[in-house]
Amino acid sequence: MGLIVQKFGGTSVSNVERIRNAASRTAEELQKGNSVVVVVSAMGKTTDHLVNMANEISSSPSKREMDMLLSTGEQVTIALLSMALAQRGIEAVSYTGWQAGIKTEDIHGNARIVNIETEKIIRDLESGKVVIVAGFQGMTEAGEITTLGRGGSDTTAVALAAALSADKCDIFTDVTGVFTTDPRYVKSARKLLSISYDEMLELANLGAGVLHPRAVEFAKNYGLPIEVRSSIEKENGTIIEEENGMEQNLVVRGVAFEDQITRVTVLGLNQSFKGLSTIFTTLAKNQINVDIIIQSRTETETADLSFSIKSADLNQALEVLEKNKESLGYRAVESETGLAKVSIVGSGMISNPGVAAKMFEILEGNGVQVKMVSTSEIKVSTVICEKQMINAVESLHEAFGLYSAPVNVK
C-alpha cells in the first residue's frame, strides 16, 4: 500500500462531468490499495473571470485583496470533488490551503511555501479518507491568505507529496504527457516516455507550460517521481525522474519557445562592477525578472548592457531605470519589442560538442537572425524575431530528429 498525490488542473475539472471523471481516477488508485491526496485548481477559466471582475472595479487592486479573491476559485472545486467522491461511497474531506497547513512567506501574489504541517492530513489518511486540498494557496504566520503565482497548484501538489513522503505525484492535465515541443504548433511533436528533472526544469523555465519550474525543483530536491498524464485518456504519461533510462539516443530532448520578449539596452553604463550589479539589484527589487544578458565595452570606458525581459514588464522596467538614472549612471535606454525566445534542451549536449553550432547553422539556413544567445550545460537559448518563431521551432525539431519514434531501452 502506497501514497499517491494526484493533481488536476483547471481544464481537468472545468465542469461537473470532468469533476466526476477526476473522482473516477481517484477511485482507481484506491482500488489498487493506495491512499490518495488530491490537489485541484479552480474550474476552467474561473481565475481569469475573477481577475477580469477585479480589473473592472479597480485599475490597480491591492495584492492582498486579489489573493482573497483568487483563492476562492479552488474552494469551489474541492467541495464539488468531495461530493463526487461521496456519491461513489468514498469518504473524502476537503481543505483550503491554509486548513491543510500550508505555510508561506509573507508575499502576496507569488508566495513560496516555507512549511507544511501535515498532522491533520496524516490523521485523515490513516482513517481511510481521501484528502482534497485546494492548490495555489496558503497562509502566512500572521494569518494572511496568500497565493503561489502561476502554476501554483503544481507546486502545492509536489510540495505535499514531498512533505508526506509520497511514492509518486501524478499531474493530470489536458495533454497526454511532456512533448518534444508544443503539439499545437508543431504537428510532428511527440510524447516523451521519460525526461530528467534537469531537462524538465530547463524546459519549464524556457516556456513549456505543462509543469511549473518550482514544482520540478521540489521533486528534484526530494527525489520524487512525477508522471504528467492525461485526465481523459487512459494511457501512460511522461515520467520525470533523476535517472532517465529511455530515449538515450536523443542529444536534444525538446524545443521550447516563448513569445512576447523584449530586449532592453542600457547605453553608456559605468563599467565598474558596482554599477553593473546595482542595475540588476534595482530591477530585482522591483520584481522584474531579467533573462539573457550581454555586455559590450565601448571606446569611452563605458559599457552597453543588453538584457531580455517579458514584454509585459517593459513599461515598469523603463520607469525603474529612469527613476534611478542618476545612481545607475547610464546615458540612455533603448528597447526592441516583437521578439521571441527559442531554446533546445538535452542532457546529451554535455558529451556531444557542436550542438550549439548546429543550432546556429540550422537557424541561419532558414533565414532566422539570432539577436541574443544564452547557454548552459544542457540548453542553448536564442532571441529572434517573433515572426520567425514557429519557423525556427519546426526547423530545429526536424533537424535534431525529435519526430522519430521513441526507443525504450528498459
Other CB atoms within 10 Å distance of the CB of residue 16 = 12
Residues ≥6 apart with Cβ < 8 Å to 97 = 71, 74, 133, 134, 135, 136, 137, 138, 139, 156
CB 250 within 8 A of CB 196: no
What's the number of CA atoms in the CB half-sphere (13 Å) around residue 91? 7
Report pLDDT for 404: 62
Which pTM value belongs to this model? 0.85
Other CB atoms within 10 Å distance of the CB of residue 249 = 11
Report pLDDT for 256: 95
Q: Strand ranges (DSSP E) for 271-328?
A: 293-297, 302-310
Q: E strand or H helix at 254, and its extent?
A: strand 254-270
Q: E strand or H helix at 132, and its extent?
A: strand 130-134
Q: Kindly list the distances between the CA atom of residue 81 and the CA atoms of 125, 166, 170, 248, 392, in Å, as whole numbers in the listed order.
A: 17, 21, 17, 40, 42
Q: How far apart are CA 286 and CA 288, in angstroms?
A: 6
Which domains are seen in the chain, by residue range? 3-174 (3.40.1160.10), 245-410 (3.30.2130.10)
Q: How far apart are CA 343 and CA 374, in angstroms?
A: 9
Of 371, 370, 361, 372, the C-alpha closest to 395 is 361
Of 40, 36, 41, 42, the C-alpha closest to 121 is 36
Per-residue pLDDT of 286-341, as tens digits, reads: 889 999 999 887 666 788 899 999 999 999 999 999 998 888 888 899 999 999 99
pLDDT under 70 in the chain at which residues? 243-249, 271-275, 298-300, 404-410
Report pLDDT for 242: 85
Max CA separation in the chain (angstroms): 77
Report pLDDT for 303: 83
Report pLDDT for 106: 95
Instruction: Work out the percent of the chain whose per-residue pLDDT is above 90.
Output: 79
Q: Kindly list the distances between the CA atom of residue 28 and the CA atoms of 11, 298, 305, 365, in Å, as whole numbers in the listed order.
A: 20, 65, 55, 51
Per-residue pLDDT of 371-400, as tens digits, reads: 999 999 999 999 999 999 999 999 999 999
Q: How far apart are CA 395 and CA 162, in angstroms?
A: 39
The three-state secondary structure class of 238 is: strand
Q: How far apart are CA 250 and CA 346, in angstroms?
A: 8
Residue that has been written with the C-alpha cell 513522503 in this structure: 165
What's the number of CA atoms in the CB half-sphere (13 Å) around residue 312? 4
